[in-house]
Amino acid sequence: MATTDVPGANGKLSEQLDAVVIRFCGDSGDGMQLAGTQFTNVSAVFGNDVSTLPDFPAEIRAPAGTLGGVSGFQICFSSSDIFTPGDEVDTLVAMNPAALKTNIADLKRGGTLIVNEDAFEKSNLSKAGYESNPLDDEESLAPYQVQKVPMTSLTRDAVAELGLSPREAERCKNFFAMGLVYWLYQRDATPTEEWVKTKFAKKPELVDANLKALHAGFNYGLTTEAITVHYRVDPADLPPGNYRKVTGNEALAFGFVTAAKLAGKQLFYGGYPITPASDILHELSKLKNFDVVTFQAEDEIAAITSVVGASYAGDLAITASSGPGIALKGEGMGLAAIMELPLVVVDVQRGGPSTGLPTKTEQSDLYMCMFGRNGDCPMPLVAPASPADCFEMAQEALRIAVEFMTPVLLLSDGYIANGAEPWQIPEISSLKPIKVSHENKQQGDEPFMPYLRDEKKARPWVVPGTAGCEHRVGGLEKLDVTGNVNYSPENHQYMTTLRAEKIAGIADFIPEQTVEGPESGDLLVISWGGTYGAVRTAVKQTIQEGLSVAHAHIRYLNPFPKNLGDLIKRYKKVLIPELNTGQLRMIIRGTYLADAVGLNKVQGKPFLISEVKQKIREMIEEK
């Protein structure tokens, strides 16, 4: 789809492309996350649709130059709608041999490989397990357009006059790499230049050095004879509006703050640091002027129980963690469930069990979140589909919590949390309000009944300090209406059913399930959470191939949308791709007796579009 223009003023060809995937990779000290983020920013500001996938090294301080220390950042930018950071890489920037070794397999044939030639010396080669220099192996590099650039020395030369230490000088090489890629894709570097000026405001020598390195990289592309083509990706045709880039964790923080503002309530966040959920705490901690109270608790149990206390005292209260921390919160969630208090628990899933793959994504906490509490203890579950969707689902989670007086779980994952995409900044006036009413008894009324229910089966929410409504709650079984402790067998049966019915009843107040594609047909692909983009794209493309396939992406996992069962029946086959061994599939099979088939991957990596497409074709072919 590329069109080649006549040579431009500098004598270089300019090719137009629809979508490009770039991956920056290097040692964790090489500043690759920064390079990727900056490239994302300039592309987003330029108007492309963007989608990103940061890939953090599994070890925080792996020895420099080793395979374990490779850090990567992939970005797809496009002139049309995209939903994933892409399957194959068009341009790979590898800052050292280890990065080359671990990433080259993803570079497409004919793709551009830019390497920092200086880093391919003896010690780095041996740390990466190369017996000889792969850059000399012409045969294996033949499928790619290889640009060997001595980035370290070029950067050093570029900043020579500034009198930096050699280390400081070499540190700027990521800016050199960025400059070169900016030239290659005709990016306007202004947003990055502004960023450098503010970031290093207190260290003018670093402003100079990074800008010089950036420009040196750009000029290298312009002048070197080795590179003859550069590329253009036009702005995307997004719906009109104001945009910014958000990561999932940022969007969650924005969503929670927004919900609290809309409800006119204080937001309370109790949390304990854990990857990849910590950024939610970091983001909210900055927003104290929004009447946000953040509490870094001593552990996840204290985090959830502080949130229970804050909710009892009338705050909109949330906590977030990842698998191991959610496991610790189970007892606290049960307490909130029996006390029928509103709060939200965010699980940013990562690879498990136990500490598992802490920096990698997975969807394997669904069972835990659906069932992982003692007793019969259903909790509403919602799952955003993408980074930007986190904004809406954060509000949805709090709205359900407050309207139904229940703890709610929100399942995100590492891929959504750290990935970024454009987010259309909403008009504040267009946001759905969140209504909170606190019981406030008048003098001389009947005694206050803390477990009297409204039409949604929700009990009243009273703020301590309200005269005349003094009451006690706790983890022991309640007598309905009075809330007094009651152990009678009939009451426990009744209350267990009542709590379950209350949660099931939420189905009447959430949107029905929609599908992309035909309303009936050969195959329905059901997905949830962060696999949305890959599945959506795969289904779209197989529909274009003429296959009878549709996609239902579920954002409300408990209760399911009311029409889901009927919808499933309209297709001959059901496929459920998940980044686990089949958790939603088991639940769908159990709930609807549907013979769903799984596509399951647990490698700490998201699906490739091609993997999903292949499975769709297979299932439709084997009639």
Partner 1 sequence: MSVDVTLPVLSPKDFASDQEIRWCPRCGDYSILAQMKKVLPTLGIPKEKFVFVSGIGCSSRFPYYMDTYGMHSIHGRAPAVATGVKLANPDLQVWVITGDGDSLSIGGNHFMHVLRRNVDLKVILFNNQIYGLTKGQYSPTSPMGTKTKSTPFGSVDRPLNPLSVAIGARATFAARSVDVDIKHLCSVLERAAKHKGSAFVEVYQDCNVFNSGAFEFASKKGKKEENVIYLEHGKPLIFGKERDKGIRLNSHDQPEVVELGKGVTEDDLLFHDEKSEDMNLAFLLASMRHPEMPEPMGVFRCVDHPTYNDAVYQQVESATERSGEGDLEALFNTGDTWTV
Binding positions for partner 1, 390-449, rule CB under 8 A: 425-426, 428
Write down the least CB distance from residue 33 to partner 1, Å: 17
Residue closer to partner 1 by CB (options 63, 235) is 235
Is residue 121 a contact point for partner 1 (CB under 8 A)? no
Interface residue with partner 1 among 472, 490, 508, 544 (CB under 8 A) is 472
Of 124-132, 223-231, 294-302, 571-579, the window that binds partner 1 (rule: CB under 8 A) is: 294-302
CB 182 within 8 A of CB 42: yes
Is residue 295 a contact point for partner 1 (CB under 8 A)? yes
CB 383 within 8 A of CB 412: yes
Interface residue with partner 1 among 1, 6, 9, 467 (CB under 8 A) is 467
Residue closer to partner 1 by CB (options 339, 539) is 339
- Tokens standing for residue 452: 């009297």
Find the binding residues for partner 1 in span 584-623 (CB under 8 A). none
Residue closer to partner 1 by CB (options 240, 546) is 240
Write down the least CB distance from residue 333 to partner 1, Å: 10
User: How many residues contact partner 1, by CB under 8 A?
Assistant: 71
Binding mask 532-561 for partner 1 (x = CB under 8 A): ------------------------------
Nearest to 275 by CA among 74, 417, 70, 64: 417
Is residue 252 a contact point for partner 1 (CB under 8 A)? no
How far, in Å, CA of 255 to CA of 399, rounded? 11
3-state secondary structure 65-92: CCHHHEEEEEEEEECCCCCCCCCCEEEE
Residue 591 CB partners (closer than 8 Å, separation 6+): 560, 565
Is residue 282 a contact point for partner 1 (CB under 8 A)? no
Strand extents, DSSP E, 95-217: 107-116, 145-149
Find the binding residues for partner 1 in span 132-191 (CB under 8 A). 191
Radius of gyration of the chain (CA): 27
Q: How many other C-beta atoms can be found within 10 angstroms of the C-beta atom of residue 591?
A: 13
Of 105-113, 375-383, 472-480, 590-598, the window that binds partner 1 (rule: CB under 8 A) is: 472-480
How far, in Å, CA of 311 to CA of 123, rounded? 56
Interface residue with partner 1 among 292, 382, 503, 552 (CB under 8 A) is 292
CB half-sphere exposure, 344, CA atoms < 13 A: 34
Write down the least CB distance from residue 81 to partner 1, Å: 12
Is residue 463 a contact point for partner 1 (CB under 8 A)? yes
Interface residue with partner 1 among 289, 430, 442, 443 (CB under 8 A) is 289
How far, in Å, CA of 524 to CA of 570, rounded? 9
Find the binding residues for partner 1 in span 476-535 (CB under 8 A). 476, 484-485
Interface residue with partner 1 among 148, 453, 471, 540 (CB under 8 A) is 471
Residue closer to partner 1 by CB (options 19, 92) is 19
Is residue 81 a contact point for partner 1 (CB under 8 A)? no
Is residue 129 a contact point for partner 1 (CB under 8 A)? no
Residue closer to partner 1 by CB (options 176, 243) is 243
Residue 551 CB partners (closer than 8 Å, separation 6+): 515, 516, 517, 524, 525, 526, 527, 535, 536, 539, 540
Is residue 287 a contact point for partner 1 (CB under 8 A)? yes
Of 166-174, 376-384, 467-475, 529-537, the window that binds partner 1 (rule: CB under 8 A) is: 467-475
Binding mask 40-79 for partner 1 (x = CB under 8 A): -x--xxxx--------------------------------
Q: Name the 3-class secondary structure at 378.
A: coil
CB 380 within 8 A of CB 503: yes
How far, in Å, CA of 558 to CA of 568, rounded? 17
Interface residue with partner 1 among 266, 486, 520, 610 (CB under 8 A) is 266
How far, in Å, CA of 348 to CA of 253, rounded? 13
Nearest to 297 by CA among 318, 267, 270: 270
Of 126-134, 331-339, 409-417, 522-530, the window that binds partner 1 (rule: CB under 8 A) is: 331-339
Find the binding residues for partner 1 in span 299-318 (CB under 8 A). 299, 301-303, 305-315, 317
β-pair type (521-528, 420-424):
unpaired
Conformation bin of residue 588: beta by default, left when phi > 0, alpha when psi is -120 to 50: alpha
Q: How far is Cα of residue 437 from the mean position of the Cα atoms in its chain?
A: 33
Interface residue with partner 1 among 137, 331, 376, 566 (CB under 8 A) is 331
Find the binding residues for partner 1 in span 228-247 (CB under 8 A). 235, 238-245
Q: How many other C-beta atoms can be found within 10 angstroms of the C-beta atom of residue 539?
A: 28
Write down the least CB distance from residue 243 to partner 1, Å: 5
Find the binding residues for partner 1 in span 337-396 (CB under 8 A). 339
- In total, the chain counts a number of residues equal to 623
Residue closer to partner 1 by CB (options 2, 485) is 485
Q: How far is Cα of residue 606 from the mean position of the Cα atoms in its chain?
A: 11
Residue closer to partner 1 by CB (options 335, 515) is 335
Of 203-211, 290-298, 550-558, 559-567, the window that binds partner 1 (rule: CB under 8 A) is: 290-298
How far, in Å, CA of 75 to CA of 21, rounded? 6
Is residue 324 a contact point for partner 1 (CB under 8 A)? no
Is residue 226 a contact point for partner 1 (CB under 8 A)? no
Residue closer to partner 1 by CB (options 110, 239) is 239
CA angle 360, 365, 370 (to 5 degrees): 160
Write down the least CB distance from residue 196 to partner 1, Å: 13
Residue 272 CB partners (closer than 8 Å, separation 6+): 296, 297, 298, 299, 300, 302, 303, 321, 325
